[in-house]
Structure 1
Amino acid sequence: MTTAEKTSVRRAPFKAGRMGVCKALTVALLLSAPFSAQAKAVEPEIYTPVAPTIDQARANILIARQLQFTHFRDLGISDKLSGDVFDAYLNYLDGQRVYLTGGDIETMSKVRNRLGSALKTGQLQPGFDIYNLVQQRIIERLQFALETLDDGIEKLDFTTNETILLDRSEAEWEPDRQALDALWVKRIKNAVLAQRLNGADDDDIIDTLQRRYEGQLKRAYQARSEDAFQAYMNAFAGMWDPHTSYFSPRTSENFNINMSLSLEGIGAVLQADNEYTKVVRLVPGGPASKQGQLKPADRIVSVAQENEKPVNVIGWRLDEVVDLIRGPRNSVVTLEVVPASSSDETLTKSISINRDEVKLEEQSASKDTIELDRNGQKYTVGVITIPTFYADFRAMQAGDPNYKSTTRDVRKLIAELQQEGVDGLVMDLRNNGGGALHEANDLVGLFIDTGPTVQIRNSSNEVQVLNDDDASVAYDGPLVVLTNRMSASASEIFAGAIQDYGRGLVVGSQTFGKGTVQAVRPLNHGQLKITQSKFYRVSGGSTQHKGVIPDIEIPSRIDKTRIGEDALDHALPWDQIDAVPHTRYFDFSGIIEELRKRHDDRFAKSPDFRLLQQEIDFLNEQRQRETVSLNLDERTVQQEQIERTRLTIANARRELRGDEPFESLEELEDWQDQQAADLGSTDEELDFVIREGGDIMADMLELDKRMASILTPQQFAAQAEAL
């Protein structure tokens, strides 16, 4: 086949295919915007519209009933909800508004207020009609992009003053095909320009973009009925809350994917994010976490096996991306990602990760100490890092007396630190995404006599209270708990209980705010993960949405507008129920302002903090950019400025540590790759924040000697009365 013939096949217009299976709305949608491309001599590839099955219709009815009658949120199916489902569905299918025109939206809007009643009764055709039209518009756009590349990128003009909007999720729909053509020329120019600035030549750029668009085109032609059904059901289920979702039969086959989307091989938790696959968090102890370069909110562009070309995965189904990233132990997979810190989706980086299994011992709690000198007074502060709340359930059920769990391991570490004579304890829960609920309950019990640890309310307003019934206390000294935005679920339960009991101070940044409980329920076709309960602190406030607010705040690089429960659509709100009786071990109100003042003074003088704040400001500036220039000279200046800032911050940090500065950004990136390969390397922010936790501990000991030995409730009451 000649090059011309191959091009003919790739550019061929699609046809309606089996139009007989579609109802009148499909015909109306497809005929509303005919395609102008002429038929080629070679038989064109045809998009076959997908259609719902009887099993899917039955599953839809079951899902609708479960959502209305068993979900925690009491939400009926109304005209308003119908419109919200319509918007959410379009946001999933065309979140950046680059495929559909205003005319398409006007045509589809005829069913906007009828989706709810159809979903109640398993009438899936309206949702499938929308899906089919979007797939055909995607094919048309990708064909246009490939034709533009065939015409030659040397024809693209990079001397104009054009700009392109980076985030089009709130933009107006382009009115017609001509406007979309102009937008796509800009998108292609942006992609070409970004790669030229990264040093790629035009042949490589054309090859990369052609493989990207052809891969997406192939996926569009291969659309399946299950793809439409899963997308439609998740738009529907997402109205109740972001953690309620439908799993197809294929997804349900694997428990790890079904429950947490935890990838075998690299240890990353992923989710679909419009046409991208986004990193939600890293599994503690996993290869990606130890490698150190993959970050939450990174979006995966391509996946490459060892010694093979990258496969573009934009527009792929999540389960297919999972399958591609999986692989045998000790093999290497390379992910091309759009970094979370990047304001431009065309600026990517490649991360190579050695596949391995996540071992329980690598998620285990660990300890360290910090030595502090305050005006001749020496303090030793113990640090216990808890990556996750774990328990070896298999060994536990087998009756192994030495089975591993968070609480058992922490109890041992506390005993060891006490033998070393520590004056205080810092518990590091940053990046701890939760885990076994009973472990959070038991862990609180190491620091209090007895009492409630968390409340759980179901959709019937019945409240269950979990208690620590063990009167023994592993540690009764002063305590600091470190949190950040990635501290979630069980971590929030522990931090909230310590705060409510006045048992210690919470230091760091606001936690994630994941305060809901899900259950997986089987359907005739797939499964439904549904939110059924909500966590509340012993003081009555929910951890949902708001999370735990630290007593002393430390800024973080993590973007709270993109990571966290309050960044998710339709998240359940914060609310409050009655508190349950609990002891207050210490009242920090008399010293908290002085602690904050000392912390602020220390940070004002700290070169580490100034660098961290400078980096946060730089990242925020990049995140706030709404457009990017398509002028080569202006874009070059912008990129050089970004590179200079990155290099300046990195060299300032090296100077603090007595290391030689990097001469170029390439040298910095090479060093970062080497550090990532060295699994024993440490995170500089981690050390900085832990040191500050130790300093706050020393402040506590200096300000109130009573903290050296926490008062019992009776002693505290007696002393308070005396004062």
Structure 2
Amino acid sequence: MSLLAVFRRSVLLLVLLMLTSTLALAQIQPSEAQRQVAAEVAESLRYGHYADVSLDDTWSKIVFERYLDVLDGQRAFLLDRDVEAYRHLETRLDDILLDGDLEPVYELYRRYHERAEARYTWLLERLDAGLDFDYDNQKRLELDRKDSPWASSERDLDELWHKRLKNAALTLDISGQDSEQIEANLRQRYEGQLTRLRQTNGEDVFGLFMAAVTGSIDPHTEYLSPRQGESFDIQMRLSLEGIGAMLRTDGEYVKVVSLVPGGPADRAGVLEPADRIVGVGQEEGDMVNVVGMRLDEVVELIRGPKGSTVRLDVVPAEAVDMTRSREVEITRDTVDLEEQAARSEVIEIERSEGTKRIGMITIPTFYVDFDAWQAGEEEFRSTTRDVARQVEQLKEEGVDGIMLDLRNNGGGALQEANSLIGLFIDRGPTVQVRDARGRISLYGDTETGTLYDGPLAVLVNRLSASASEIFAGAIQDYGRGLVLGNATFGKGTVQTLSDLSHGQIKLTRAKFYRISGDSTQHRGVEPDILFPNLVDPERIGESSLDNALEWDTVQEVQYRHYGEPWEYMETLRSRHRERADTRPNFVYLERRADLARQLREEHTSVSLDREQRQREAKQQEAEQLALENQRREALGLELLDEWVDARSEDAEEDEPIERVQVIEAAEILADYAELSQQRLASRR
């Protein structure tokens, strides 16, 4: 075949592809069902949401900007003139939603779609031409462009994407891949993104717009399409299967938000909150690069039959360079219910006057066997019943105090948090719930008597949420015990799921308040004594989510104080500080938190010069390695040559880093028990 014939055939194929794409794009239209449900969503937001939602021009402007963020959050596809061509929608989206006139919204999507398809085609053409990058220049790539202005020309976007392509290739090059592997990986990435783009249908576009609409109100209000609703139901019924990790999109990456207590990932100990997943592989076959992939598609890759193995390519949360990934394996399984059950241990604290014994009860979640409870069975399983048995056992062992470990406890059954408080107080209110109309319902413990009235502490962290925050807040307000650890997650809202004519809506309907009147929303519960934070609060927590409802207060209710731990706080904090300054693991946690914050603030761009990039990465890792080896030297452990080995080495230590918080919390409770006893003796 002549060159002219080959050229004509290529042109013909290109024209056919363009015609196919144009026809497919023209078919992305709103349906009558979507027009109807748009109006239903508007009514739900106006009359059913907790907040006072006004669907007006001001709100419309917020939704317009959020819709642009949903479509092109990194300002990488649309041009300034594209956005300006649709600026007239800025004050019309409230009317569009109420009237169900969705065509203008779809039209804006189609403009984005055209730009994105052209860009992925441009990238593939560059790969066809062969990668020939010069990695010895001083250019840098900005990592986060969400606040950048829209590009004014195609040339500007070409320059941006040239940098992006170069960065992607350089990242793979530094990780040890040869040119063929790099080209194959990048081709797989961009062809996959182009294929997924071309598979977009009208339902997908409606979902994108609804995400902008509901996300403008609060992060927990959400529209679920019929398919998403079915998937949500499956997750609720089969929530104890899979790897047991909650994931969220973070730019181009999929981020681990939390681990299900007792789940496969939790038991394996290979994932931590804020880790980023960049690749997914099955037991056999190649690892699939998931950078830039939609969250639901990544979840589908991770899911699989019980007993099978999934391989994940993970960049640790502390890593500042995306080349520092490691492969981990997790066996898909059901959550071990016994791992979620409350369990106890006794921690011995050595003091000059003798050994103090502190009982610790770990509560991974607030659970109850609803079916058995509703059936009227007397011996149904629940958090409160299990904790009560553990308390009785610890009392028989003669402990000097009891500590409840609610770290990583994301909540669960509200009634269990309520009844659990009742084990430690003699009747009284526990939580206030305010609905959308401002009506406040008061929940409390109605049974007389307490199961345990001795020294008490609650250990929490950033992943302690919802019911955990209600429990910790009540114990703190009553003066019943100490709250130790980190500021909690800050989820103080209640959602309900309602059916629509097409899909469902998850709507924030109420808000939790402590008996003191303070909300647990946004701020969470602030501990009496703070520990170094192992989880970055700017990445994880209610305050890290867009449009989270604000903290506020209601009137406090009448309640009594069971103790006055604040009277001892100065002494407790002073003793804690003295111990913390001499404990290598505690010093390490404090310095690591400071270093992580410093690196995050400094690392806003990456160099496209290979040597400079490697120098920066080595410098950052050298700081992390030096910090780790200072800790290891103080503990008499073997020093490490590579910082990336730190996590696996830590898992083999007799006392893992996180254990230091447990020991220090027990020390503080022992101090509290001693000071309380001295005060009591002085009053006799």
- Give your verdict on TM over 0.5: yes
1:223 is aligned to: 200
1:521 is aligned to: 498
Tell me which of 323, 332, 342 is aligned to 2:300: 323
2:80 is aligned to: 102
Tell me which of 685, 691, 694 is aligned to 2:666: 694
Q: In structure 1, what residue type is equivalent to 2:421? A: V
Please list, as runs of the form range in 1=range in 2, the aligned pairs for 1:247-646 lying within 5 A after superposition: 247-256=224-233, 264-273=241-250, 275-344=252-321, 348-624=325-601, 625-646=603-624
Partner Cα separation in structure 2 for residue 284 and residue 253 of structure 1: 25
Task: Determine whether 1:166 maps to 2:138.
Answer: no
Q: Deviations over 1:547-597 (max 9, x none)?
A: 101111111121111211112111111111111111101112321112112
Please list, as runs of the form range in 1=range in 2, the aligned pairs for 1:143-158 lying within 5 A after superposition: 143-153=121-131, 155-158=132-135
Q: In structure 2, what residue type is equivalent to 1:197? A: I
1:31 is aligned to: none
Partner Cα separation in structure 1 for residue 414 and residue 304 of structure 2: 31
2:119 is aligned to: 141
Task: Determine whether 1:86 maps to 2:86.
Answer: no
Partner Cα separation in structure 1 for residue 159 and residue 228 of structure 2: 38
For structure 1, which segment, 497-506 or 619-628, has the greater mean C-alpha deviation from structure 2 after superposition?
619-628
- Three-state SS of the structure 2 residue aligned to 1:477 is coil
- Three-state SS of the structure 2 residue aligned to 1:72 is coil
Contact 1:252 1:258 in 2 (8 A): no
1:601 shift after superposition: 2.1
Q: Deviations over 1:10-59 (max 9, x none)?
A: 98796476979xxxxxxxxxxxxxxxxxxxxxxxxx65551111111111
Contact 1:251 1:257 in 2 (8 A): no
Contact 1:492 1:511 in 2 (8 A): yes
Contact 1:267 1:287 in 2 (8 A): yes
TM-score (norm 1): 0.88
- Three-state SS of the structure 2 residue aligned to 1:412 is helix
1:654 shift after superposition: 3.8
Task: Determine whether 1:126 maps to 2:108.
Answer: no
Partner Cα separation in structure 2 for residue 279 and residue 55 of structure 1: 35
- Three-state SS of the structure 1 residue aligned to 2:86 is helix
Q: In structure 1, what residue type is equivalent to 2:101? A: Q
For structure 1, which segment, 447-456 or 557-566, has the greater mean C-alpha deviation from structure 2 after superposition?
557-566
Contact 2:457 2:484 in 1 (8 A): yes
Q: Deviations over 1:497-544 (max 9, x none)?
A: 000000001111111110000000001111000000000101111111
Provide the alpha-carbon RMSD of the alignment. 2.7
Partner Cα separation in structure 1 for residue 106 and residue 240 of structure 2: 30
1:486 shift after superposition: 0.8
Q: Deviations over 1:158-207 (max 9, x none)?
A: 11111111111111222111111111111112122222222222221111
Q: In structure 2, what residue type is equivalent to 1:458? A: D
Partner Cα separation in structure 2 for residue 240 and residue 189 of structure 1: 38
Q: Quick one: structure 1 residues 392 and 359, their matched pair in 2 at CA, closer, same or farther if it must change by over 3 Å?
A: farther
Contact 2:77 2:119 in 1 (8 A): yes
- Three-state SS of the structure 2 residue aligned to 1:380 is strand
Partner Cα separation in structure 2 for residue 84 and residue 135 of structure 1: 22
For structure 1, which segment, 492-501 or 631-640, has the greater mean C-alpha deviation from structure 2 after superposition?
631-640
1:8 shift after superposition: 8.2
TM-score (norm 2): 0.93
1:246 shift after superposition: 0.5
2:29 is aligned to: 51
For structure 1, which segment, 168-177 or 82-91, has the greater mean C-alpha deviation from structure 2 after superposition?
168-177
Contact 1:166 1:344 in 2 (8 A): no
Q: Quick one: structure 1 residues 87 and 177, their matched pair in 2 at CA, closer, same or farther if it must change by over 3 Å?
A: same
Residues paired across the two proteins, number: 678
Contact 1:341 1:622 in 2 (8 A): no
Q: Quick one: structure 1 residues 513 and 280, their matched pair in 2 at CA, closer, same or farther if it must change by over 3 Å?
A: same
Partner Cα separation in structure 1 for residue 110 and residue 323 of structure 2: 28
1:245 is aligned to: 222
Partner Cα separation in structure 1 for residue 125 and residue 187 of structure 2: 10
Partner Cα separation in structure 2 for residue 593 and residue 137 of structure 1: 61
For structure 1, which segment, 404-413 or 491-500, has the greater mean C-alpha deviation from structure 2 after superposition?
404-413
Q: Quick one: structure 1 residues 343 and 135, their matched pair in 2 at CA, closer, same or farther if it must change by over 3 Å?
A: farther
Contact 1:701 1:708 in 2 (8 A): no
For structure 1, which segment, 328-337 or 661-670, has the greater mean C-alpha deviation from structure 2 after superposition?
661-670
1:398 shift after superposition: 4.2
1:682 shift after superposition: 7.9
1:387 shift after superposition: 0.9
For structure 1, which segment, 611-620 or 566-575, has the greater mean C-alpha deviation from structure 2 after superposition?
611-620
1:635 shift after superposition: 1.0
1:271 shift after superposition: 3.4
For structure 1, which segment, 105-114 or 539-548, has the greater mean C-alpha deviation from structure 2 after superposition?
105-114
Q: Quick one: structure 1 residues 225 and 242, their matched pair in 2 at CA, closer, same or farther if it must change by over 3 Å?
A: same
Contact 1:10 1:143 in 2 (8 A): no
Q: Quick one: structure 1 residues 296 and 534, their matched pair in 2 at CA, closer, same or farther if it must change by over 3 Å?
A: same
Contact 1:478 1:708 in 2 (8 A): no
Partner Cα separation in structure 2 for residue 486 and residue 261 of structure 1: 22
Partner Cα separation in structure 2 for residue 284 and residue 11 of structure 1: 52
1:266 shift after superposition: 0.5
Q: Quick one: structure 1 residues 298 and 101, their matched pair in 2 at CA, closer, same or farther if it must change by over 3 Å?
A: farther
Unaligned runs of 5+ in 2: none
2:53 is aligned to: 75
Q: Quick one: structure 1 residues 353 and 341, their matched pair in 2 at CA, closer, same or farther if it must change by over 3 Å?
A: same
Contact 1:262 1:269 in 2 (8 A): no
Partner Cα separation in structure 1 for residue 610 and residue 14 of structure 2: 30
Q: In structure 1, what residue type is equivalent to 2:613? A: R
Q: In structure 2, what residue type is equivalent to 1:168? A: R
Contact 1:304 1:333 in 2 (8 A): yes
Q: Quick one: structure 1 residues 342 and 144, their matched pair in 2 at CA, closer, same or farther if it must change by over 3 Å?
A: farther
Q: Quick one: structure 1 residues 634 and 275, their matched pair in 2 at CA, closer, same or farther if it must change by over 3 Å?
A: closer
For structure 1, which segment, 369-378 or 418-427, has the greater mean C-alpha deviation from structure 2 after superposition?
369-378
Contact 1:101 1:177 in 2 (8 A): yes
Please list, as runs of the form range in 1=range in 2, the aligned pairs for 1:628-707 lying within 5 A after superposition: 628-665=606-643, 671=649, 675=651, 684-705=656-677
Contact 2:120 2:190 in 1 (8 A): yes
For structure 1, which segment, 9-18 or 519-528, has the greater mean C-alpha deviation from structure 2 after superposition?
9-18
1:401 shift after superposition: 3.5
Q: In structure 1, what residue type is equivalent to 2:88? A: K
1:353 shift after superposition: 1.1
Q: Deviations over 1:370-400 (max 9, x none)?
A: 1112223321111111111111223333444
1:28 is aligned to: none
1:476 shift after superposition: 0.7
1:86 shift after superposition: 0.9
Partner Cα separation in structure 1 for residue 321 and residue 19 of structure 2: 36
